[in-house]
Structure 1
């Protein structure tokens, strides 16, 4: 992915190394021992399966011992390439969505992207790195522990900067949904529906965010030629790896469609492709689609 030298966003908040962070080797200290990166991602998958918080699962994996975090890591220096990358990708999403909103006579409110380690306070409660990147609508912030990108490579064998950019663009896609009022509509409807019906709405929301990520990539490439050979394949590999069916097969050995909240691998790939092939917001209406 070509990104170096492009504009960087000022809307990145760096909380890495602050109190509540992880640090060191990227693990959590459980009792007298340390649960490394591999253990954390296992806890994430198990918490997904059994419907408990990642922190609670980490404790259970330690036989009920309390979860203790390691000493905070030092803040990265001025040569922090990872932060430069995040700032550049975020700036690119700002430029793309700013232009698209302007075309519709609207103003795009830029989100803040917060980097953290371990855990951090958000308007949605305590954010945990074990849950992966997430967007919090009340404070309009995207939260990312950059070690998630290491987990993508180690656990799912997905590498490449464009795959990482896809993750960021997906979370920014949730911000776009929030600005459009779609998030509130979905969450309001979920209060009146059964769990299975509510999950189905969550799938549509997530697939639309995948499509919005594709819309960003289309316009960013048109304007700045960011894509290199193999980049799209890495993003598709990331979408495939984190499909609900793929995660459930890994953890359970079988799939339970009614419990899906993000969509299957095939669906995530299909909607990202719709966005990157068309570059049109209108092509991302998962809520009216006859087939996901």
Structure 2
């Protein structure tokens, strides 16, 4: 992946040299956390989604159609974290993450502008071991995660070693996919989807809630593909083997692959992130199309 000449984001909090104070594998914590003309089918599913989630149907139509009012939801920010942190990493891995984050900002700023809105970028916190977040105590064992309460992505960079050695998913583009997926959860938060899905908790069965979670996670995978699409189009970041790295990472963290590895049996009703094949398919869809409309997992008949 060609990242060295990319713009490094300033929205970095580097807490790695600070004592730990303050969800999940490619999005487990994320749950706690334009286009062509609109046909009648899209209009119908938009109003169905609006009824289920309580979202203004015109907002859904605007985002899916690539036009109209796409103003982000007014999520209240959490109080500022008392932990201070430097904003400019000097090590290569920190600079890599800052460059990937900068690429997500460029891509989503362009997408939101096309839809008539201004993108509000998240902060990304690099930490070691544990750190305080507005969603509670963040732990390295959770894997990378997004906290919607403070609109920050959290990552212990040691997870990349876990990807390589334990999950069999090495490579810099696979590492970038991790960041882009969590930023995808931030985009969902701005759209109002994250809070609406979480708001269904307790009102529907656990199986139905898990099914919604799967669609949320697969959409974040698709949004990661949108990042890759727009960055390659503008900066030619992809090199030979990069897409295969992302596909390998997506396969490694599919619910079926993880369950088969950990317990020897697959329980589909307990899935919360999607199968390996589903995660690969939705990332590929975002990569190929660069379209938010194409990432409408909530109204897809087959995921």
Distance in 1 between the 2:234 and 2:198 partners?
Answer: 35
Question: Residue in 1 aligned with 2:172?
Answer: 161
- 1:17: how far off? 2.4
TM alignment of 1:202-217, pairs within 5 A: 202-217=213-228
- 1:6: how far off? 1.5
Distance in 2 between the 1:78 and 1:93 partners?
Answer: 18
Distance in 1 between the 2:215 and 2:165 partners?
Answer: 28
Question: Residue in 1 aligned with 2:204?
Answer: 193
Q: For residue 18 of structure 1, give the secondary structure of its aligned residue in structure 2.
A: coil
Q: Which runs of 4+ in 1 moved over 2 A?
A: none
Question: Residue in 2 aligned with 1:83?
Answer: 94
Question: Residue in 2 aligned with 1:33?
Answer: none
Distance in 2 between the 1:247 and 1:78 partners?
Answer: 33
Equivalent in 117, 124, 127 of residue 138 of structure 2: 127
Alpha-carbon contact 1:190-1:201 (below 8 Å) kept: no
- 1:98: how far off? 0.5
Matched, 1:222 2:222: no
Question: Residue in 2 aligned with 1:8?
Answer: 8
Q: For residue 19 of structure 2, give the secondary structure of its aligned residue in structure 1.
A: coil
Distance in 1 between the 2:202 and 2:119 partners?
Answer: 29
- In structure 2, relative to structure 1, the CA distance for the partners of 1:200 and 1:86 (3 Å cut) is same
- 1:191: how far off? 2.9
Distance in 2 between the 1:274 and 1:10 partners?
Answer: 29
Distance in 2 between the 1:5 and 1:263 partners?
Answer: 34
- 1:157: how far off? 1.5
TM alignment of 1:165-176, pairs within 5 A: 165-176=176-187
**1 or 2 for the larger relative contact order (CA 8 Å, sep ≥6)?**
2
Question: Normalising to structure 2: TM-score of the pair?
Answer: 0.77
Q: Deviations over 1:7-62 (max 9, x none)?
A: 110000001121128xxxxxxxxxxxxxxxxxxxxxx99xx9xxxxxxxxxxxxxx
- 1:225: how far off? 0.1
Distance in 1 between the 2:106 and 2:207 partners?
Answer: 37
Equivalent in 271, 278, 291 of residue 289 of structure 2: 278
Distance in 2 between the 1:93 and 1:281 partners?
Answer: 14
Alpha-carbon contact 2:89-2:95 (below 8 Å) kept: no
- 1:78: how far off? 6.3
Distance in 2 between the 1:180 and 1:259 partners?
Answer: 26
Structure 1 unaligned spans of 5+: 22-43, 49-74
Distance in 1 between the 2:211 and 2:217 partners?
Answer: 10
Distance in 2 between the 1:218 and 1:110 partners?
Answer: 18
- 1:139: how far off? 0.2
Matched, 1:177 2:188: yes
Question: Residue in 1 aligned with 2:19?
Answer: 19
- 1:5: how far off? 1.8
TM alignment of 1:137-152, pairs within 5 A: 137-152=148-163
RMSD: 1.9
Q: Deviations over 1:180-216 (max 9, x none)?
A: 0010111112231111110110000000000000011
Alpha-carbon contact 2:14-2:89 (below 8 Å) kept: no
Matched, 1:136 2:140: no
Alpha-carbon contact 2:15-2:127 (below 8 Å) kept: yes
- In structure 2, relative to structure 1, the CA distance for the partners of 1:184 and 1:79 (3 Å cut) is closer
Question: Residue in 1 aligned with 2:58?
Answer: none
- In structure 2, relative to structure 1, the CA distance for the partners of 1:78 and 1:8 (3 Å cut) is closer
